[in-house]
Amino acid sequence: MVCEPMPKWLSDCRERVKDLGVFGDKTPNHVLVNEYTPGQGIMPHEDGPLYHPVVTTISLGSHTLLDFYKSLSNTDHQDTTHDASYESRYIFSLLLEPRSLLVLQNDMYTRYLHGISQREKDTVSDQQRVANGSRLGQPLSFAEELNRSTRVSLTIRHVPKTFKIKLKLK
Ligand SMILES: O=C(O)CCC(=O)C(=O)O
Ligand SMILES: [Fe+2]
């Protein structure tokens, strides 16, 4: 990965997250900016060994639901009847509120996949298990429909190996 300077506003966000101490003695040096319009999501995935052991995400604009799934390596391979569908591997969701910070680490990093469904609104019902439902800034009423608007996420991580070469893009 090649180093590039960060804009000041982004570097300020990075510093505030660093000051929380969640990266230990490391300084987060990588920010991914994603924009989601209503109906857009991201496939269930693992962030992989490069960013291990901590990933942090600031949510701006819309709320979203981040869904967690058992990874296949975390299901019982002896059980040949096991169902590989995401539906059967779903465990719970976290409601990511606007201006919130998510810290993903430990088992949630290594043992589970995370993803965002392609929906324009989220219906918060019992099936949709919102694990942080009781810890939100605004209490949730169940069966409530939450319309998504544009969301920008800043995923702040630490990458151990970077190269200090200058890219000349024309
Ligand atoms: O936008 C988000 O909150 C999740 C992004 C994500 O999981 C990723 O980029 O790896
Ligand atoms: Fe991710």
CA 152 – CA 108 distance, rounded (Å): 22
CA 34 – CA 23 distance, rounded (Å): 21
* pTM beyond 0.80: yes
Which H, E and C letters describe 21-52, residue by residue? Answer: CCCCCCCCCEEEEEEECCCCCEEEECCCHHHC
Nearest-CA residue for atom 1 of ligand 1: 153
pLDDT of residue 105: 95
For 140-162, the pLDDT digits (tens) are: 776 778 999 999 999 999 998 77
For 53-94, the pLDDT digits (tens) are: 999 999 999 999 999 999 887 665 555 555 689 999 999 999
What is the token pair recorded at 121? 């609104």
The residue to which tokens 């910070």 are assigned = 101
CB 35 within 8 A of CB 168: no
For 24-45, the pLDDT digits (tens) are: 999 999 999 999 999 999 999 9
pLDDT of residue 80: 52
CB 60 within 8 A of CB 153: yes
Q: Does 60 contact ligand 1 (Cβ within 6 A)?
A: no
Residues that place a CB less than 5 A from ion ligand 2: 47
From ligand 2's centre to the CA of 13, what distance in Å? Answer: 19
For 119-147, the pLDDT digits (tens) are: 999 988 766 689 998 888 877 776 778 99
Candidate of 30, 42, 68 to mutate for ligand 1, largest count of ligand atoms within 8 Å of Cβ: 42
